Structure 1
Amino acid sequence: MTTQAKAAGSAAAAAELGYIAGMTWGWTGVRGTWEGPEADFSLSEMAKLNVGWTAVTLGALQATAQSTEIEYWNEPTVADDEVRSAIRRAKALGQKVCLKPVVNVADGTWRAHINFFDMDIPGEPTWGQWFESYARFILHYADIAREEGCEMLCIGCEMVQADKREAEWRALIAQVREAYSGLVTYNCDKYQEGNVKWWDAVDLISSSGYYPIDQWEEQLDRIEAAVAPYGKPFFFMEAGCPSRDTSPARPNDWSLAGRPDGEAQRAYYEAMFGACGRREWVRGFVLWDWPARLYAAPDAAANDDYCMYGKPAAQTVKDFYGSRREGLMDKQAWLHELQQELQDNILGFWQTHALDELHGGFIGEMDSSGKVNPEADKSLVLNARILWTFAAAHRRTKNSQHLALAERALEQLRTVFYDELHGGFYWMATPDGRPSEDKKQVYGQSFVLYALAEYMLATGSTAELPLAEETYRLLERWAHDPVHRGYIEALARDWSETDDLSLSGKDLNERKSMNTHLHVLEGYTNLYRVWPSDGLRDRLRELIELHLERILDGETGHFKLFFDDEWNSATRDVSYGHDIEGSWLLCEAAEALGDPELLKQTERAALQMAEATLLEGVDEDGGVFNELHEDGRLDDSKDWWPQAEAMVGFLNAFQLSGEERYVQAAERSWSFIRQHVRDEDGGEWHWQVSRDGRPDRTQVKIGAWKCPYHNGRACLEALHRLESLTKEDALA
């Protein structure tokens, strides 16, 4: 692609740019400060202010204002690995990134005073020498910006004397466009918007908006007149005010004497946002600034710098950015896509392809090409999940075909899987309906309860309540641990002890597991909605408390996975899909229980888990990794079900917090599903895709674990939550 074509493409992208709700992060970029828990915490806290753009900003030094070598490879400048890591972590939080390399002068001279003779003088340093070094500096970071997918590159900041060198800047921009195809901007200094004569060469015009609190209207009139002739989008690449009582009158002076005053800073932001918010041509801000290592929150009142962390201005920024953020998917469009996906690609697939016309019920297995394995056993989990899915669909659609499929699954549970002698349900059955694995896996019994309750909610009939009550009482009699609480994994057919505890070939053979308890919680929650008995209420409370006290690691925000009887953890593996799924299922349980204090505890835990998943478990493309093993190995493949649960879990986190980065994460989950997980040709969803989005076609399309429950439920939940949010928007 030619330089001209790249410029044209960038110009088109700039014209379609939404509001830039940005923050400067990491200045000055001191080596060794951009990685680790403190840096992660800083980025995470910044994102909570509805920030959608991060300007990853670093400084490199030249010795004096007349030096011609910029030593960007030397300390204290952050190392390239730190720069790349910061970009990736910002993107994992759903941020767009502008990479902003800035030159500074080591002796303390402000970079605006970097200057040389207008013409080359023998024996004197020249502009040509300086721009040669500056080009190497900027092009180095242009390469990083390209390789890491940065949406924007800022090629300079507040170079007042250098601004006059029009030919050199145009030549540099042409070089940049050879290396980088994203948006290009230049950050001129305050009051200098009319002095740059080469604005036509960049994609966006930006400046430093450090104007006195009472001069915003006057300065905006001046800026508009200066930039309007270029027809380029304009935003403030820097703007802000220290939290100091004297600073609103002189916000650019970071050394101005005064006392700490958070309200003065808040008032400045309100005035700035108020004035600029009335000017449609102002397309946003990248506020100054947010350090890589924050001060402690209790010290915020005594801090008088620009950062608004823990100060009154933080809420002002959050509210303004929340009202201005664009670029999220239109809710109506999202609702339409979800409805179509549910009806046509999920429910329609199972209605058409999953019926066992020979033996009744549903087939046991189909490969990714659509070939049925007639010898595959039938799974209790698969059939219970089919019952739940079509009952839940009928609750929404009132479609008689959905009810018929639910009743078909219910008939299979009663005639094929139910143990007439001992009660409960077999784990597996042969294609013709005989038990092939007759143990009583507590996980499976829980899904029966989940499904029976959903069927009762869908039909209004309580005909299945005696069976549900019987199953619940069997679990309480034989599986519940009265000493240490919780439930053991499995029992023999007659409910006696068994050594065969594991849920699947990949699970540890331990007495208790997170997975089983999460789904007992799920089943008991749904059952409580139709049968709110005192005993069930007590057990549901116990399950919520167990998740908060024993299963959730309060330090990491991750579930522990396997335990002995006394809740000693057997592994430190992390399952990102279960974390984000559990975050919203716990909230559902606490809401059903109706205890306000327990609900508050659960919501705090849910946000902690959603945050941990977003920070650690979400790839740059929005996909959720499978697992992190305790030895540090990452299973970076992406199964279908964590993607489904992420969409719901992040929507839930948004509803709890109001932080748009969560709804953006949910949208990115949906985008990843649409692009990589749903099977455009064969219908339904692929079981697994690789990190780069290639489907694993060796995995089945229908099987003991591959069912319509995760993706069908995700669509139903997302529809419900988005409809609720749309209604709230209409009432606001």
Structure 2
Amino acid sequence: MDRKRLLETQAWVRGELDRSANFWLEHGMDKEHGGVYTCLDRKGEIYSTDKSVWMQGRCGWIFAFLCHHYGVKQEWLDASRSCLDFMEAHCFNHEAGDRMYFTVTAEGQPLRQRRYYFSEAFCAIANAEYYGITGERSRLERARQCYDLYWDLSRGMPDPVGMGPKTIPETRTGRAFGTPMIILNVTGVLLRTDPERKALYEERAQQCVDDIFKYHVKPELKCTLENVDTDGTPRLYYTEGRTVNPGHDIEGVWFLLEHARRTGDKELVKKAAEMFDWAIAAGWDEEYGGLLYFTDCLGKPPEAYEHDMKLWWPHNEILIASMMLYRDTGEEKYLDWFYKTVDYCKEHFADPEYGEWYGYLRRDGLPTEPSTKGSTFKGPFHMPRSMVLVDKMIEEISARL
């Protein structure tokens, strides 16, 4: 372990975190209507005023999370509250069981409702994290309501929106890895902030872990499948059934490692490490560097046209998972992956001139043009989250040296 290199990397991480937070505070926060704009170009200019409800929750969470780790700054707390208040006023469909919208206008008029329930997930963690800082009981109640609705929908509750499943259920149904993976992460946030329901969250977190390994992790294929049959059987006869999302898998790895640390499950650490090894082997581009967005578990052509692009967030997840695996196993190969990814991110994603990271790169590592720092799907979440967690892990590791 090179302590000097580790601390130099920590200084870079902290600088990137500062630039990211300041970028969104300066360019994204809507001082007129509340909430956050996330469709921002390289310099922070708004190119669409429509608002992503996912991003209202994610932004509300990250600024409260910064307060949790670094102490309350009024501008962080104000940004978090602005997003929470905007969601409360505009992002719930009260005619459909308080399901949340997917996008709204700048003023908060509903634009789009989707069958997916990730808006509820991110609203839950935002309110829970804010409650953990302020003790405002109404925020906890909203966090619980969103979380319980999210859980019930994932377990087969009829959707009040009435859209029905994505495919004709008489023809094909199945399971998606994103469901137990995201619930595990959301449950971990509420475990930390809502101790009154500790037993419930512990039970549900373990259920998510069990589901991941029962249905999605496939040692015989050396991968984690995004989509499987209801009983976990691989469906290798069509493209969606063979899809591997290496970044998703690696994100899931550190969610599992957090659970292993909470429960003292050393065997789970080994299983999560194996998942990381498969994902990085499948996804790392040996020619150009960086992680491919999608791969096919049998090496056939992936269906998604963006499959060979390099997106920002999988690289954030590598940084977290590799450092966490190094912390928990002591294996140098994970530290090597951490530094390899840091080098790629410094060269291709980071923008010292304007701050924040490019969201979308071509396979060769050049940003798509015109380049973007935010979109309906990219806001202040993956990148600052990774910087916070890596900073704190380096603190922990360096203290032992």
TMscore range, shorter length: 0.7 to 0.9
Give the alignment partner of residue 200 of structure 2, picking from 512, 527, 535. Answer: 535
Q: 1:589 to 1:618 in 2, by over 3 A?
A: same
How is 1:510-549 mapped onto 2 (pairs within 5 angstroms)? Answer: 512-532=175-195, 533=197, 534-549=199-214
2:154–2:179: 8 Å Cα contact kept in structure 1? no
Q: 1:469 to 1:705 in 2, by over 3 A?
A: same
1:650–1:662: 8 Å Cα contact kept in structure 2? yes
Give the alignment partner of residue 450 of structure 1, picking from 122, 125, 140. Answer: 125
Q: C-alpha separation between the residues in 2 aligned to 1:703 and 1:638?
A: 15
Q: 1:602 to 1:622 in 2, by over 3 A?
A: farther
Q: C-alpha separation between the residues in 2 aligned to 1:334 and 1:622?
A: 20
1:611 alignment partner in structure 2: 277
Q: CA deviation at 1:670?
A: 1.2
Decide which structure has greater helix share.
2
3-state SS, counterpart of residue 144 of structure 2? helix
3-state SS, counterpart of residue 378 of structure 2? coil
Q: C-alpha separation between the residues in 1 aligned to 2:114 and 2:86?
A: 18
Q: 1:478 to 1:662 in 2, by over 3 A?
A: closer
3-state SS, counterpart of residue 369 of structure 2? coil
Q: 1:692 to 1:366 in 2, by over 3 A?
A: same
Give the alignment partner of residue 387 of structure 1, picking from 57, 60, 65. Answer: 60
Q: C-alpha separation between the residues in 2 aligned to 1:564 and 1:368?
A: 41
Give the alignment partner of residue 397 of structure 1, picking from 67, 70, 78. Answer: 70
Is 1:709 the counterpart of 2:372 in the alignment? Answer: no
Is 1:623 the counterpart of 2:290 in the alignment? Answer: yes
2:26 alignment partner in structure 1: 352
How is 1:332-731 mapped onto 2 (pairs within 5 angstroms)? Answer: 332-343=7-18, 345-368=19-42, 370-374=44-48, 376-398=49-71, 399-421=73-95, 422-439=97-114, 441-481=116-156, 492=159, 494-496=160-162, 498-500=164-166, 512-532=175-195, 533=197, 534-570=199-235, 571-592=241-262, 594=263, 596=264, 599-620=265-286, 623-629=290-296, 630-633=298-301, 635-698=307-370, 700-729=372-401
3-state SS, counterpart of residue 242 of structure 2? coil
Q: C-alpha separation between the residues in 2 aligned to 1:477 and 1:649?
A: 29
Which ranges in structure 2 are unaligned for 5 or more consecutive residues? 236-240
Q: CA deviation at 1:440?
A: 5.1
Q: CA deviation at 1:496?
A: 4.1
Q: C-alpha separation between the residues in 2 aligned to 1:664 and 1:329?
A: 15
3-state SS, counterpart of residue 36 of structure 2? coil
Q: C-alpha separation between the residues in 2 aligned to 1:461 and 1:667?
A: 41
3-state SS, counterpart of residue 436 of structure 1? strand
Q: C-alpha separation between the residues in 2 aligned to 1:462 and 1:622?
A: 47
2:238 alignment partner in structure 1: none
Deviates more, 1:415-424 or 1:390-399: 415-424
2:245–2:293: 8 Å Cα contact kept in structure 1? yes
3-state SS, counterpart of residue 708 of structure 1? coil
1:257 alignment partner in structure 2: none
Q: Percent identity?
A: 23
- 1:450 maps to a residue whose letter is I
1:501–1:511: 8 Å Cα contact kept in structure 2? no
1:80 alignment partner in structure 2: none
Q: Which has the larger radius of gyration?
A: 1
- 1:472 maps to a residue whose letter is Y
1:622–1:668: 8 Å Cα contact kept in structure 2? no
1:202 alignment partner in structure 2: none
3-state SS, counterpart of residue 375 of structure 2? coil
- 1:563 maps to a residue whose letter is V
Q: 1:613 to 1:520 in 2, by over 3 A?
A: same
Q: 1:361 to 1:443 in 2, by over 3 A?
A: closer
Q: C-alpha separation between the residues in 2 aligned to 1:555 and 1:584?
A: 22
Q: C-alpha separation between the residues in 2 aligned to 1:664 and 1:332?
A: 15
Q: C-alpha separation between the residues in 1 aligned to 2:78 and 2:280?
A: 39
Q: C-alpha separation between the residues in 2 aligned to 1:690 and 1:586?
A: 30
Q: 1:519 to 1:501 in 2, by over 3 A?
A: farther
Say how many residue pairs are matched.
383
Q: 1:638 to 1:510 in 2, by over 3 A?
A: farther
- 1:348 maps to a residue whose letter is N
Q: CA deviation at 1:586?
A: 1.2
Q: CA deviation at 1:717?
A: 0.7
Q: CA deviation at 1:500?
A: 4.5
TM-score normalized by the length of structure 1: 0.49
Q: 1:726 to 1:372 in 2, by over 3 A?
A: same
3-state SS, counterpart of residue 331 of structure 1? helix
Q: C-alpha separation between the residues in 2 aligned to 1:661 and 1:622?
A: 17
RMSD, aligned α-carbons: 2.6
Q: CA deviation at 1:425?
A: 2.0
Deviations 1:66-125 (A, max 9, x none): xxxxxxxxxxxxxxxxxxxxxxxxxxxxxxxxxxxxxxxxxxxxxxxxxxxxxxxxxxxx
Q: CA deviation at 1:369?
A: 5.3
2:176–2:228: 8 Å Cα contact kept in structure 1? yes
- 1:381 maps to a residue whose letter is W
Q: Which has the higher contact order (CA 8 A, sep 6+)?
A: 2
